[in-house]
Amino acid sequence: MNLMSADAEGKLSISTNLEELHILHAALNEICHGIEIVEFETRIGASLEEVKGVMRSLDEILAS
């Protein structure tokens, strides 16, 4: 995975491959559904719904 560009608003463009996306998706799935994390938002830095949203975005990319 490589950073291609970043703008002043915090938007990033990255270059990655399907294997890396599958790894990221599997990790997010485990975080959301596989293990219980006490104080989820504090430890992860995002709410469960935000993380599920990222996972849904990855689902869409992987399905295309």
pLDDT tens series, the chain, 64 aa: 999 999 999 999 999 999 999 999 999 999 999 888 889 999 999 999 999 999 999 999 999 9
Side-chain-side CA neighbours of 8 within 13 Å: the count stands at 0
Q: What is the pLDDT of residue 20?
A: 96
Name the 3-class secondary structure at 13.
strand
**Type of residue at 28:** L
Q: Return the residue matching tokens 């949203």.
A: 53
Q: What is the pLDDT of residue 23?
A: 97
**Contact yes or no for 14/51 (Cβ under 8 A):** no
